[in-house]
Structures are given as C-alpha cells and as structure tokens.
Amino acid sequence: MTSHSEDPYIEPTTDPALEWAQPSDAVRRHAQTQPDRVALIAAEQQISYRRLDQTIDRAAAALQRDGIAPHDVVALCGANAIDYVVIMLAALRVGAAFAPLAPSCTSDALGLMLDNCGASVVFVDTYGHNAVAAVRARTGVSGISMNGDEAFGALSEWLAPEGSSPEAVANDPEGVFNIIYSSGTTGTPKGIVHTHAMRWTQSAGSVQAIYNSDCVTLISTPLYSNTTLVCFLPALVAGGTLVLMPRFDAGAFLALAEQHRATHAMLVPVQYQRLLDHPAFDTTDLSCFELKFSTSAPFAAALKAQVLERWPGGLTEFYGMTEGGGSCVLAAHEHPDKLHTVGQPREGHDIRIINADGRQIDPRETGEIVGRSAVMMRDYYGDSERTRDAEWHDPDSGLRFIRSGDIGHFDEDGFVTIVDRVKDTIISGGFNLFPSDLEAVLRTHDAVLDAAVFGVPSERWGETPVAFVIARDNASAQDIQAWVNERVGKFQRLTDLRLVDTIPRNAIGKVSRHDLRQIYSDG
C-alpha cells in the first residue's frame, strides 16, 4: 500500500532540453529557440521570452553591481507581476536564493523573516508595504520599489543599462534555491529551504508529465506560496505562457481564462467554490482547459464532483507539504469513486503511518502521515531544533522522513484519506475529536454554506468543540447546533455555534484556526 524505495527519485529524463539547470537557464534557452513567444502576461503588460531574458540579465547585473554574490538571499514582498518574476529569476541567475515574503504578514513578522534569512535587499510593491517599515528599521538592508511603487528607488532606475549582462556563475545543485516562510502570524516564522536540485527534480518531472510550450497557465495564487511555485516553475521551464493575477477574483479569473484560452491552472478549494458560484461561470468558455490542479487545503468530495461535472478538462489534486516528503496525487477524472481521498503516493514516494509514540503502524490504521522522496526540504533555515522536530527516522534503515502533521490512513486500494491535522485534534474528556468530522456533518445541513470547528478550553472536559458557520438567511444558530448534536456522539457535541459572515482563511485558502480562537475569545 505504500510506495517504498531506499533512495526515492524521479527517473532522469533523456530529453537534453531537460538536463539539470535552473529556471532562468530555461528562459535563456526559450529566448533562443522561441524568442517571440509570450512568456508572461500581467494586466495590460506582456513580455516575450527574448525580452524577459534580457531584463533578467539587466537585473542580475544590477544585483552583482550591488554586491549580491552566490549564496546570498534576495527578498521580495509583493503581488504577482512581471517585475516580481524578473527579480526572482535574476537572483537565481547570479547564484543567490530568493525569499518570497507574504504581504499579508505584519511589519514585525516580516522583520523576523528578514533577520532570519539575512537578505540585504528587499523588493516591494504597494501590496508589500508592510515590509517598508521592517526594511527601514534595519541597517544594511536596502529597498527597491517594483511596479511603480514609490516607497524606495524605482526598479526602472535601479536596473543596469540595456544590453548589460551579469558575470557567469556556476550552478550549484545543492545551493539554496528559495526560502519559503510557512508562518508569520505568531512566534518566529519557519524558513523552509529548497535546493536547486530539489526544485529541478520537481520541475522536470512535471514538464515530462504535464506541461509543454503550447500551455497557457493562469496563475491566481501568490508567488510567495509553494502552492504556486510547483505550477509556475514547470510551466515556465516548458516554455509556455503564464498569465499572472495580482489577487484572485472569480470574475476576473473567468474573463482571463476565456480571453487567453487557458489550458492549466492551480487553484485552492475555496477558489473553486467561488468560481462555481459566480453567475458568469456557466456562460464562460472554458473549453481549452486540459488540466486543473488543487492543493494546500482540504478539498471536499462534493466540490470535486461539481468541478468534474461543470468544468471541461481533468482535475488533479496534489497532497503534500511545502517541506516536502511524501506526496500523493488524485486524478479525480480517472477515479470518481475516490473523491473522498487525496489519491495514491507518487512514484518514488515512500509514505508511512506512525502512531503517537512514533512507531510505524499498519497503513490501514489511523495515525500521522510521514513521507520521504527526492522532493524534501533541506531544513528550516537557521533552526536545527525545529528541523529535528519535523523529521522521523526509520528505526531499521535510519532513513529520514518528513512528518506531515496530518492524520490519515490508507484504504484497501492504496488511496490515502486525510482525517485532520494533529495540532487541530480536540481532546475532550480523553477522546480525540477531529474538526473535519464535525464540519462534514454541519455541511449536510441545508442552511449551512460553510463551517469551521475548533477547540476551546473547558474546565470540565479539557477542551470542547465549537463552530463558526456561514448560513443562509433566517437560519438559527440554536437550531443548527441542536440538529448537529442529535447526529454526533456524546463527546462530539458542540458546546457553542455562532453564525458569522466570513471564516478567516489565509491567501491559499487554509482556515486559520488561530484567528478563529482569537475571535471567539474576544467575544
């Protein structure tokens, strides 16, 4: 039921165009072989592969002029845009790593990220203005403004002159490609390190299986997220066209998909729901879609079924973590009877189930998912203790696995079902309660549009479950709570249920249970 191998890998390609490199090298190759092909589209702007390669060279030369050397870190804080992509790829071209920072984070959190990664230059736009104060508060850190922003000197003035080229830098497969921060709302954020070799393995595998130069990929999730990069990078390496949205909007997405005849897109589940609910959905021409992808958050089986029924093209769900480890794939259009699962382990991915004591158990039992593959983080940047906490080692072989923090199990066909998050488990009266179980019951009520369940302290039970619900007009919180409590076990009964207008989620659609608890405690 698991996919075991001592040294997981993706089979090397025989295609010389996919021999090991990095994305800016691929852009240079496309600039030579298909120079007039449109590489990026953003709002009213577009740029060819030839022009993109030239602009990356100008930015790379400017980075070297300012002292950025191999293994340094370049930070970005802003929305999806052509300037953003140029800087990201220019950093790679000079052998540096890039650290994409979430604009939604506070200035204090962004400051912690800058202190952690040690970036000496930060590129911002109007969306990333929370980073401005963090930059100005730090000596030795400079800022450059993208996309017409005026907080710092303009990118157009900073770029090296037309025709400039950087000094050549040797690629280092084990060098840091990016540092992605998984958190920033509370405490010290964790910087997840991916190497060049890991990213190339990931990108080349996707190019072989999914993308080609005819693809038009619509990017509506943020480039600071690994969710986006696993789609963006291989689409770029393949030489396709990428359409960038600065922020997701259902109506704008539909219009862009029809206008540019999009073939591929990565969306999180809440975006699928918003698109299907949009009044223009059924009249929009989406017939060019070949494949749509989803990851990052639980994807309800009923919603997957709606997407399959109403949206042309296949639907593939990826299950995995930014930290890497073991990943699963569900080709929903091929397995309509498995929509409640996240699919089977990818080839070369070793996924196992362990119990609370860290011992491997039967994969059909419920426990924490751990995984190993060629796609794994190197570490949390500068944080060896939390890196160790994220790892599990096979006691027999000593092989390193990444702990997912997810609770799940395999079925008899080798498909994985996710039950919940370890940290979200509610321990009430000594029993483990999973918020996802209660949310599933809530969503079967005719008046419930969305729901989130979380635990709060209880003197009697230790913890007890409460729910926030978005409901139809005239719905009664008391009636919904009573209805649910009649259908669940004694220890699962909701102590409280509140009707709300919105449920807090992050930019990639994950429910923020920390925010839920804070809102609840504030009354």
pLDDT of residue 514: 84
| Residue 76 near residue 122, CB atoms below 8 Å | yes
Residues 73-130: tens digit of each pLDDT = 999 999 999 999 999 999 999 999 999 999 988 899 899 999 999 999 999 999 999 9
User: In which residue are the tokens 């139809």 written?
Assistant: 472
Query: DSSP string spanning 36-48?
Result: TSEEEEETTEEEE
pLDDT of residue 423: 85
| Residue 241 near residue 266, CB atoms below 8 Å | no
pLDDT of residue 15: 55
Closest to 315 measured CA to CA, from 299, 339, 333: 333
Domain ranges, ordered by start, for the chain: 24-247, 348-421, 428-521
pLDDT of residue 182: 78
Provide the mean pLDDT of the chain.
91
CA atoms within 13 A on the CB side of 268: 20
* Residue 325 region by backbone torsions, left for phi larger than 0, else alpha for psi between -120 and 50, else beta: left
Under DSSP, the state recorded for 20 is S
Residues 228-265: tens digit of each pLDDT = 999 999 999 999 999 999 999 999 999 999 999 999 99
Residues 6+ apart with CB under 8 A from 330: 316, 317, 319, 338, 339, 341, 342, 343, 344, 415
**CATH code matching the domain that covers 24-247, chosen among 3.40.50.1820, 3.40.50.1100, 3.40.50.12780, 1.10.3860.10:** 3.40.50.12780
pLDDT of residue 19: 64
pLDDT of residue 251: 98
**CATH code matching the domain that covers 428-521, chosen among 1.10.10.10, 3.30.300.30, 3.30.9.10, 3.10.580.10:** 3.30.300.30
Residue type, 172: D
Question: Which positions of the chain have pLDDT values less than 70?
Answer: 1-20, 183-187
Closest to 82 measured CA to CA, from 120, 31, 44: 44
Task: Output the 3-class SS for 443-504.
Answer: CCCCCEEEEEEEEEEECCCEEEEEEEEEECCCCCHHHHHHHHHCCCCHHHCCCEEEECCCCC
| φ, ψ for residue 502, nearest 5 deg | -140, 155
| φ, ψ for residue 401, nearest 5 deg | -120, 160
pLDDT of residue 20: 64
Residue type, 284: T
pLDDT of residue 296: 85
348-421: which CATH topology? Luciferase; domain 3 (2.30.38)
What is the b/e burial string over 141-160, where b = at least 16 CB atoms within 10 angstroms of the residue's CB? bbbbbbbebebbeebeebbb
Alpha carbon distance 134, 310 (integer Å):
46
Share of the chain above pLDDT 90, in %: 78
pLDDT of residue 505: 86
